[in-house]
Structure 1
Amino acid sequence: MTKPSGEKKKLARCIAVFGTGSDVGKSVVTTGLCRHFAEQGLKVVPYKAQNMSNNSGVTAEGLEMGRAQIIQAEAAGVVPSVLMNPVLLKPTGEMGSQVVLMGKVDGDESAAAYHKKKERYFKVAADALDRLREENDLVIMEGAGSCAEVNLMAGDIVNFRMADYADADVILVADIHRGGVFGQVVGTMACLPEHYADRVKGVVINRFRGDISLFKDGCEWIETKAGKPVLGVLPWYKDFHIGSEDSVVIEQPKGKSSLTGTKPAGAVIRLPFISNFTDFEPLMQRDEIELCYLDRPCDLSEFAFVIIPGSKNTRKDLAWLKETGWDLNIKSYAENGGHVAGICGGYQILGEKIEDPQGVEGTAGTEEGLGLLPVATVMKAPKTTTLSRFTYEGIEGSGYEIHMGTTQRYGGEPLVSVQDRNSIPTEDTDGCRIPSGKVIGTYMHGIFDTPAIVDSWFKEIGLDLIPSKTAGGLDARMEAYGRLAEHTRTHLTMEKIETMAKGEA
């Protein structure tokens, strides 16, 4: 933006955090740096030009963006904005995605059709970055997947092309836990053209277990072969939790075999198009129970509860439940007194039917649900995206709603009372609970973020556990961000990274 005098505002510096592959730790490193620089007094913001994820959230304006950037914004102490994630792709099948542009649905595109529109999306993403750079001191940019996919590099809008546009210094993150870390780093550097390789200022080795001093020779080898300094080795941590970026962390469910049998256990059905799986991370953090994801039909009788999660394609996931026989297992479990909960798409699946007269999720038609809740859903646009405050059994909670369609309740009782949506007061209700209380459903993502709500639900389903004494929601997340920042400072060469923030690297 040009000042009246004609003086051009100085744009913020950018540091880009790229990876040797998916799920190597880019998001966590970005989050740690956002928090660190915020604690140093800088106005820092995260940015990811294009995110592919069904794990999304809602801004205060009711706009949709990737949850990873919401987490990073919280860590930076700033209000999440769609400028931080201007392009969001939500896969709806093997070959296509719903495109969310600047927080609003732009349409469904096949991979080929999306590729043809890349220049349009790059311009939107670049404009968003410009606005962030005008208003802040530092932007921490996150890449996507591997930054060295040579067949995609020419059309890539999120890795080195965007780093070039921003004149960003690049930190390359590699994951030692998955093995082959030397090949990850050296192979990535070998795939990069020289002008991209020159942008890489250092390497971070993530998820190290054991005595870090024993990896000194490994660091020296990487520095010699890759020609880049190792900025530090981040040990594996277990004493705090940061929200996961994407469902890659649950792509290989361990299932019942992972249970110890010493604690009450709950199950989440791992739908093919599962979305917002982070709804269940608070349950996974509870020491009193075990939680596992199940993708293959099995006897559910030993579980204290079963959850059907959100879905990016509810009708396809409902069809999958029927094709695999999961529907019969879930119904049998409920008929024999089991406790079943559905969140968002899972709520719709538990109902009597899902009507899709406009073909929102494919071919127009109607599907019979599992019939465990007296509700019916009609799929239709526009998408509901709200930040919501509610009460459950008189306990205040906050969450968000992201769904297509509306659901009408024909019996039972509402699950929650809604106080406001996007800061607009309401006296609405949401969800459904059958008279026995054994089957519930709601559109409220984040309902398990409030420990007192979880304690109340556990008590209702017969789990006599010690109430949680830990903080929940934002307070708990802010504590974890602070510990992540300290973890980052302890193990990375921050002096070098701080020179990047000043443009002196």
Structure 2
Amino acid sequence: MKKQAACLAVLGTGSDVGKSIVTTALCRILVNRGLRVAPFKAQNMSNNSGVTAEGAEMGRAQIVQAEAARVAPHCDMNPVLLKPVSDVGAQVVLNGAAWIDASARSYTGKKEFLFAESRAALDRLRQRYDLILLEGAGSCAEVNLMAHDIVNLRMAAYARAPVVLVADIDRGGVFAQIVGTLACLSPEEQDRISGFVINRFRGDLTLFQPGIDWIEQRTGKPVFGVLPWFKHFHIEAEDAVVIEGPKLARHNSLDADRPTIGVIRLPHISNFTDFDPLAQLPDCRLVYLEQPQSLAQLQAVILPGSKATSTDLQWLDQTGWQEHLRRYVDDGGHLLGICGGYQMLGTWVHDPDGIEGPPGSTRGLGLLPVETVLKAPKTTTRTTFTWGGIAGCGYEIHMGQSRCPDGQSLLCVQDRNGTSCNDADGCISADQRVMGTYMHGFFDTPAITRRWLSGIGLSHVAVDQLHGPAARDRAYDQLAEHAAAYLDIEAIIALLPRDLQERLSHRS
């Protein structure tokens, strides 16, 4: 029997402290040193998901990490994905396929089964790689949840993985984060923590040396490094927390000196990373809008994907957004809907089986002649398409189908999950100012982005060939260089089994 791969776990003192970034950096650093590396996160909670070549759904954070490790994403890297549809309920995606809708309470009762499924997925990965980098979820010291933990210290113990604990100094209280986390753990769990990485530092690193000394003296464990903030490259974010709060634009905060594209920040927004390629364009600005406001100053507006289309449609109506969107289109504005946003642009969204809540129908914006029926099974495909003869690729994740009149479809679909087809996708209005598509990753192809920009009057905005996947790959190298400059990579490698240390020492 083939020897199982070694494992190293990256856990956190809380949510959004930098676990994903540190794991992504280590994926690229160690694959560059010659190891076959794969990421693993037993349970992820996010509406930001993607599709593998096999048509399986998984969290985008692990897709990013797989890209950084230069391996094909596989649902074994994220066997359990929770896609929230309310504050207390979520769709559970198991091994790449929609499984059940569960409340938080009912989900807890399924944890042992899901822990077994996650262990099996990890075991399969360990047969194919040299090293598995396990990422945790939230805080690894949530004492009320630890008995049913399937993703943090319990999984690290199963994998016999030493743990690097990540803390975020930017949010304050980094000393309490670290010491408090250890204080919540049993002696055995404390022993599994090998050391710390402190993330998001601002200022002069030399001034923090007394703090490092205090942490090491107090805990008896090393600080593997302090990562400063970075702004010279961009890595896809895992959770929508990055587009919340002060980063949302208000009507008086929009730049007048360059064209601006607005994305409506829906309550159940999904796959917001669709717009990262636009956000990286130097000659225009991308903003997220939550408070209803005039859209007249925007070059284009995008309705993004949603995990709860009917609920978010009602939110648009109740908040006054529908009126602003219709006025914007009446005044000549350009509006694009993607996935759930595309469904909202139509006349009706029907949910006869109660896929998203109580059965019924919700009136759409009526800006496209499209009618949608939500129904199982979920479509999850890697898709190639053409738009006016320009080839592109993306992925689809949606419940239900939308009917568009003949002659008004937007894209010609050529292939889904490796199977040739001759289908249509999306819809475009007669004046070509309102369009919708199910295609996530629409802006990953430079030529597609150029065509869309030209259609909204921004043909002068330059789109580099280093765009989409190519830009992401360059960013992984920049992240690896940044991390290697500030982390003691050799000390982290010393946590691995001796045979891997020897292999890495011969290649360094």
Relative to the length of structure 2, the TM-score reads 0.96
Q: How far off its partner does 1:471 sit?
A: 1.1
In structure 2, the partner of 1:178 is 171
**For residues 354 and 435 of structure 1, what CA distance do their matches in structure 2 show?**
21
Q: In 2, are the aligned partners of 1:258 and 1:292 still within 8 Å (CA)?
A: no
User: Which of residues 70, 73, 90 is equivalent to 2:66?
Assistant: 73
Q: In 1, are the aligned partners of 2:51 and 2:380 still within 8 Å (CA)?
A: yes
SS in 2 for 1:114: helix
**For residues 445 and 491 of structure 2, what CA distance do their matches in structure 1 show?**
39
Supply the AA of the counterpart residue of 2:248: K
**For residues 99 and 146 of structure 1, what CA distance do their matches in structure 2 show?**
21
1:37 correspondence with 2:30: yes
Q: In 1, are the aligned partners of 2:450 and 2:459 still within 8 Å (CA)?
A: no
1:434-453 per-position Cα deviation (integer Å, ceiling 9, x unaligned): 12111010000010112222
Supply the AA of the counterpart residue of 1:249: V
In structure 2, the partner of 1:469 is 464
Supply the AA of the counterpart residue of 2:177: Q
User: Which of residues 146, 151, 164 is equivalent to 2:157?
Assistant: 164
Q: How far off its partner does 1:411 sit?
A: 6.0
SS in 2 for 1:489: helix
User: Which of residues 58, 75, 84 is equivalent to 2:77?
Assistant: 84
**For residues 412 and 306 of structure 1, what CA distance do their matches in structure 2 show?**
24
Cα separation, partners in 2 of 1:115 and 1:424, compared to 1, 3 Å: same
User: Which of residues 178, 185, 201 is equivalent to 2:194?
Assistant: 201
1:126 correspondence with 2:119: yes
User: Which of residues 407, 410, 420 is equivalent to 2:415?
Assistant: 420
1:365 correspondence with 2:360: yes
1:388-432 per-position Cα deviation (integer Å, ceiling 9, x unaligned): 111223222111000000000026622111121101111212111
User: Which of residues 225, 249, 254 is equivalent to 1:255?
Assistant: 249
In structure 2, the partner of 1:108 is 101
Q: What CA RMSD, in Å, does the superposition of the two structures yield over aligned residues?
A: 1.4
Give the 5 Å matches for 1:129-140.
129-140=122-133
Supply the AA of the counterpart residue of 1:289: C
Is the deviation greater in 428-437 or in 156-165? 428-437
1:268-321 per-position Cα deviation (integer Å, ceiling 9, x unaligned): 111111100101111111111111111111111111111110000101111111
**For residues 390 and 166 of structure 2, what CA distance do their matches in structure 1 show?**
42
Q: How far off its partner does 1:103 sit?
A: 0.4
**For residues 190 and 503 of structure 1, what CA distance do their matches in structure 2 show?**
31
**For residues 215 and 287 of structure 2, what CA distance do their matches in structure 1 show?**
37
SS in 1 for 2:371: strand
1:219 correspondence with 2:212: yes
User: Which of residues 366, 388, 392 is equivalent to 1:393?
Assistant: 388
Q: How far off its partner does 1:207 sit?
A: 1.4
In structure 2, the partner of 1:19 is 12
**For residues 490 and 86 of structure 1, what CA distance do their matches in structure 2 show?**
33
1:285 correspondence with 2:280: yes
Cα separation, partners in 2 of 1:427 and 1:151, compared to 1, 3 Å: same
SS in 2 for 1:255: coil
**For residues 42 and 497 of structure 2, what CA distance do their matches in structure 1 show?**
22
In structure 2, the partner of 1:313 is 308
1:337-374 per-position Cα deviation (integer Å, ceiling 9, x unaligned): 11111000000000010111111111111111000011
1:326-347 per-position Cα deviation (integer Å, ceiling 9, x unaligned): 1111111111111111000000
**For residues 275 and 254 of structure 1, what CA distance do their matches in structure 2 show?**
16
SS in 1 for 2:127: helix
**For residues 274 and 163 of structure 2, what CA distance do their matches in structure 1 show?**
32
In structure 2, the partner of 1:341 is 336
1:487 correspondence with 2:485: no
Supply the AA of the counterpart residue of 1:340: L
Q: How far off its partner does 1:322 sit?
A: 0.9
In structure 1, the partner of 2:235 is 242
**For residues 300 and 474 of structure 1, what CA distance do their matches in structure 2 show?**
31
Q: In 2, are the aligned partners of 1:306 and 1:341 still within 8 Å (CA)?
A: yes
In structure 1, the partner of 2:134 is 141
Q: In 2, are the aligned partners of 1:265 and 1:303 still within 8 Å (CA)?
A: yes
Q: How far off its partner does 1:466 sit?
A: 3.4
Relative to the length of structure 1, the TM-score reads 0.96
**For residues 208 and 394 of structure 1, what CA distance do their matches in structure 2 show?**
47
**For residues 154 and 328 of structure 1, what CA distance do their matches in structure 2 show?**
49
Q: In 2, are the aligned partners of 1:401 and 1:445 still within 8 Å (CA)?
A: yes
Supply the AA of the counterpart residue of 2:229: W
Q: In 1, are the aligned partners of 2:248 and 2:290 still within 8 Å (CA)?
A: no
Q: How far off its partner does 1:67 sit?
A: 0.6
User: Which of residues 351, 357, 368 is equivalent to 1:356?
Assistant: 351
Q: How far off its partner does 1:503 sit?
A: 5.7
Q: In 2, are the aligned partners of 1:343 and 1:445 still within 8 Å (CA)?
A: yes
Supply the AA of the counterpart residue of 1:309: P
In structure 2, the partner of 1:188 is 181
**For residues 419 and 335 of structure 2, what CA distance do their matches in structure 1 show?**
31
SS in 2 for 1:501: coil
User: Which of residues 53, 64, 73 is equivalent to 1:60?
Assistant: 53
**Which consecutive residues of structure 2, in runs of 5 or more, have no partner in the other structure?**
502-508
**For residues 129 and 412 of structure 2, what CA distance do their matches in structure 1 show?**
39
Q: In 2, are the aligned partners of 1:412 and 1:434 still within 8 Å (CA)?
A: no
**For residues 464 and 127 of structure 1, what CA distance do their matches in structure 2 show?**
50
**Which consecutive residues of structure 1, in runs of 5 or more, have no partner in the other structure?**
4-8
Q: In 1, are the aligned partners of 2:199 and 2:227 still within 8 Å (CA)?
A: yes
Q: In 1, are the aligned partners of 2:284 and 2:461 still within 8 Å (CA)?
A: no
**For residues 468 and 239 of structure 1, what CA distance do their matches in structure 2 show?**
18
In structure 2, the partner of 1:48 is 41
SS in 1 for 2:151: coil
**For residues 481 and 167 of structure 1, what CA distance do their matches in structure 2 show?**
28
In structure 1, the partner of 2:504 is none
Question: Which aligned runs of 4 or more in structure 1 are off by greater than 4 angstroms?
Answer: none
Q: In 2, are the aligned partners of 1:412 and 1:433 still within 8 Å (CA)?
A: no
Q: How far off its partner does 1:258 sit?
A: 3.9
Q: How far off its partner does 1:227 sit?
A: 2.6
User: Which of residues 294, 302, 305 is equivalent to 1:299?
Assistant: 294
Is the deviation greater in 299-308 or in 464-473? 464-473
Q: In 2, are the aligned partners of 1:374 and 1:411 still within 8 Å (CA)?
A: no
Q: How far off its partner does 1:180 sit?
A: 1.8
**For residues 10 and 363 of structure 1, what CA distance do their matches in structure 2 show?**
50
SS in 2 for 1:286: coil
**For residues 329 and 220 of structure 2, what CA distance do their matches in structure 1 show?**
60
Q: How far off its partner does 1:16 sit?
A: 0.4
Q: How far off its partner does 1:228 sit?
A: 1.8
Q: In 1, are the aligned partners of 2:13 and 2:138 still within 8 Å (CA)?
A: yes
Supply the AA of the counterpart residue of 2:494: T
**For residues 157 and 453 of structure 1, what CA distance do their matches in structure 2 show?**
41
Aligned length: 498
In structure 2, the partner of 1:6 is none
Percent identity of equivalent pairs: 57
